[in-house]
Structure 1
Amino acid sequence: MRVFSPFRAPKKPIVDRFFWCKVITLLPILLLIPMVSIAETSLTLSEAIQRSFAKHPELRAFNYRQAAADGMAQQARIGSRPKLGLSVEDGFGSGDYSGADNLQSTLSISWVLEGELLEQRGRSADARKRLITDEQAIKKLDVAAETARQFLSVVIFQQRKELAADARAQAESVVKELSKRMDAGKSLFADKLRAEAELARADIALEDLDHEIRGAKRMLATQWSARQLDFDTASGSLAIATGKVNYEELAQQLSSHPHVQKLLTQERVAQSEIALAKTEAQSRWQFSTGVRRFENTDDYALVAGFTVPLGGEQRNRGRMTALAAERDAYRADADAVQLVLEARLYVLLQEFQHAQHVVGALREQIIPTLEQAQKEARNAYQLGRYSYQDWRGVQQELLATRSHLLDSQFKAQLTRVEIERLTGLPLLANNEVNL
């Protein structure tokens, strides 16, 4: 018999014990959930371009155009249908031919020899299919370049925000130092107020850049028809390589540019149409064969015949002359386009090489010098040799130069993107951002 003791602690309910065991078991997992939810997702330029290639609305239309061209090429190789004919003679007239006793009926089938013609029609259709492929290649280069430009816009706003964050941290540090110096009687209250105003402006600049980044990311996402963002940052750098670029080597690639290739394909299409016009002008024999029945004798006989159209290539001479002129025009246009591309490439390369020089000078000479000047100005201010305005002026000059470096790098990257769009090749193998 169990005796109740007031000093014995009652056991906790089994349900409560199980509940706390589960909480203790799941606690490490629950602690990890916030860490997973706040992890940032980044997007590279290569991923952005692949998304654009897959879902850009103008590129998707080419799939349907290509399917239509495939159907037309298939149809071009199908010849005319054979014709089945029935004719009656010597019946339902007058006298001996008033009835059907002397009736003759003929059942025949006729067809046209089109072997060479169908083959040439197929070649012409295939040439037109290649024209769609060239147009698609042009559009892909344009889409890749536009995606790269939008991507670089996100990158520069991100880096401007980093620079603005550094400026804000610097402004906050200045406020703290001026507060200490003012308490020690070494600084004016007006200087502290000016520093606090500078800190407030730095906060506004950071907020403005947040808006710019959100807008730039949304514009980038429209390249693949997205209305919701599934990435937080654009993973890339504006730094440009300092290697030299050979104009002659790049200019040789212009002959394979899709714009030039499209005109050459149009030239080949015109040449194919000329060959088709010649083939169509040739006489094509039409054969027929069948069976004839004689009602008066109840007999059957075989009938056969052929038809030869008269005339020759003269019938299509005007069309062939027009197509030949069109073919020559495409060749002349291709030469002209390549000449313009070469001139455009030369100008862009001059701009890019100048940008390389500017970026190199800012990064290797001017900014290090200003960083040293900032340290010296800070020391001079602490020793009372510099005013707050002089010290702050050196800081602002360094920040402005860093901003100038970002703008120069951004301009150089945009120029490089345009060069790659012209040539279809990466400008420098060690670039961090290329098409």
Structure 2
Amino acid sequence: MSASHRRPPRFAVGCALAALSAVLASPAWADPAPSFPALLARLDQTPASQEAEALSEAAEARVRQARVRPNPTLGLDASNVFGSGPYRGLDNAETTLSFSQDLELWGRRTARINAARADAGTATLQRDLAVLNAAGRLAQVYAEAEAAQRRAVLAEDSLSLTIADARAALILVEQGREPLLRGIQGESEAAAARASRDEAVAERDAAFARLTAVAMLPSPVTGIDASLLDRSPAAAFAGSADPTTVRVAQAERTAAERRIDVERIRTRPDITASVGVRRYEMEDATALTFGVSMPLPLFDRNRGNIEAAQADFRAADARLASARQEAQADRAAAQARLAASVSRVSAADAGVGSAEEAYRLSRIGFDAGRISQLELRVTRAALISARTTAVDARLARVRAEIELARLDGRAPFQGAE
């Protein structure tokens, strides 16, 4: 027998088996996190939703303020007082108490209210869009956390398979059927699998921390039981003709158009009417006064503001055209990606089944001495890759559903079973 096939001492093999058993230790998980529908029901508690709701309420408050008419002006004017000669003191005073009111002619108030309503409509749609984006982000973080958890489980399974194969190789080495090099290779593979397991666990913990922060949970997430990766996407959704992004752009265009009306009306004179009572101390008499005042548009005709509002309108119109084109392309792309991801999941599941059967047969052949350790390592690597691919395919399907749901104006998996 050559030196490379010389039987190793039993003590060395036993130490190697003990070392392989020690790498299997892993931390236990605590209680699972709430399901995705339960977290979705609490979406209004997230900062993004609360910010959008506050901005919408502020816009509605500005509509109420726009309906309010300007306050009247109360004036008191005294003349012919504290002078010299007959105007010494207050004996010859002329005192006028007046009441002035801005008439808001030319549709000034109506234009102001319409502009505020348009801004409020835009804020409402932006609130809805913010909620949709928050729902999509929650779904993505939840799915990524679940995928990280599955990868950690797969890494644990991979470590177990690697250790089992290494143990089988060490037994063959002890029996003299394999050289000592095979046992050393098995130990090295087990160490690498342990490092991969530790990395996957760290990624899982980081993903759980992100989910805890995004969902604003009172206690850290330590596990996920209610699967989102295994849920089938929602059926074809018959929503509005335009996605929320297009409707927001449309509302912004309408608001810009209303602001043009406001600026144009400001070029017309702002007429103020007044009525008052004048007291004549010398004659001991009283008389009424009436007056109308208006600014003369000699210098400021508000042309700059009108041109700025018109430019804002053209910009909003361009954004609307761009949003429509992008929405049409994005929807077609999202539908194509979702269909492809569904097919990819089916193919990945079939690949996992084939890889598991191939590894099972390879392990039987290896134990019987008909298959080399190299062939067993290849089938094990194929099994690990197939399981990882299945997780990645499900994560891609969730991301495609998130994008399509955003374009449909709904929460991800809304209506799915």
TM-score (norm 1): 0.74
1:195-206 → structure 2 map (5 Å cutoff):
195-206=186-197
- 1:139 equivalenced with 2:130 (yes/no): yes
Report the secondary structure of 2:221's partner residue. coil
Match of 2:373 in 1: 388
> Aligned residue pairs: how many?
387
Task: Supply the distance in 2 between the matched residues of 1:363 and 1:46 (Cα, whole angstroms).
Answer: 26
* Partner of residue 407 from structure 1, selected from 387, 392, 417: 392
Match of 1:361 in 2: 347
Task: Supply the distance in 1 between the matched residues of 2:243 and 2:340 (Cα, whole angstroms).
Answer: 27
Q: Percent identity?
A: 22
Task: Supply the distance in 1 between the matched residues of 2:253 and 2:97 (Cα, whole angstroms).
Answer: 48
Instruction: Tell me how far 1:305 sits from its aligned partner.
Output: 3.7
Match of 2:274 in 1: 288
Task: Supply the distance in 1 between the matched residues of 2:415 and 2:279 (Cα, whole angstroms).
Answer: 86
Task: Supply the distance in 2 between the matched residues of 1:412 and 1:311 (Cα, whole angstroms).
Answer: 63
Match of 2:23 in 1: none
Would the aligned equivalents of 1:168 and 1:203 in 2 still touch at CA under 8 Å?
Answer: yes
Would the aligned equivalents of 2:233 and 2:401 in 1 still touch at CA under 8 Å?
Answer: no
What is the CA RMSD across the aligned residues, in angstroms? 3.8
Task: Supply the distance in 1 between the matched residues of 2:233 and 2:71 (Cα, whole angstroms).
Answer: 67
- 1:85 equivalenced with 2:75 (yes/no): yes
Would the aligned equivalents of 1:240 and 1:356 in 2 still touch at CA under 8 Å?
Answer: no
Query: CA, structure 1 residues 426+295, in 2 after alignment: closer, same or farther (shift >3 Å)?
Result: closer
* Partner of residue 318 from structure 2, selected from 323, 326, 332: 332
Instruction: Tell me how far 1:42 sits from its aligned partner.
Output: 1.9
TM-score (norm 2): 0.76
Report the secondary structure of 2:277's partner residue. strand
Instruction: Tell me how far 1:304 sits from its aligned partner.
Output: 3.0
Query: CA, structure 1 residues 174+119, in 2 after alignment: closer, same or farther (shift >3 Å)?
Result: same
* Partner of residue 129 from structure 1, selected from 120, 125, 128: 120
**Range that drifts further, 187-196 or 213-222:** 187-196
1:150-299 → structure 2 map (5 Å cutoff):
150-178=141-169, 181=172, 186-223=177-214, 229-234=219-224, 235-239=226-230, 241=232, 253=240, 255-257=242-244, 259-283=245-269, 285-299=271-285
Q: Name structure 2 gaps, 5 residues minimum.
A: 1-27
Instruction: Tell me how far 1:52 sits from its aligned partner.
Output: 5.7
Match of 1:111 in 2: 101
Report the secondary structure of 1:148's partner residue. helix
Would the aligned equivalents of 1:52 and 1:223 in 2 still touch at CA under 8 Å?
Answer: no
Query: CA, structure 1 residues 292+402, in 2 after alignment: closer, same or farther (shift >3 Å)?
Result: closer
Report the secondary structure of 2:34's partner residue. strand
The letter of the residue matching 2:373 is Y
Task: Supply the distance in 2 between the matched residues of 1:372 and 1:168 (Cα, whole angstroms).
Answer: 19
**Range that drifts further, 377-386 or 275-284:** 275-284
Query: CA, structure 1 residues 132+179, in 2 after alignment: closer, same or farther (shift >3 Å)?
Result: same
Query: CA, structure 1 residues 309+363, in 2 after alignment: closer, same or farther (shift >3 Å)?
Result: same
Query: CA, structure 1 residues 198+325, in 2 after alignment: closer, same or farther (shift >3 Å)?
Result: closer
The letter of the residue matching 1:396 is A
The letter of the residue matching 1:108 is S
Task: Supply the distance in 2 between the matched residues of 1:201 and 1:91 (Cα, whole angstroms).
Answer: 102
Would the aligned equivalents of 2:71 and 2:101 in 1 still touch at CA under 8 Å?
Answer: yes
Match of 1:302 in 2: 288
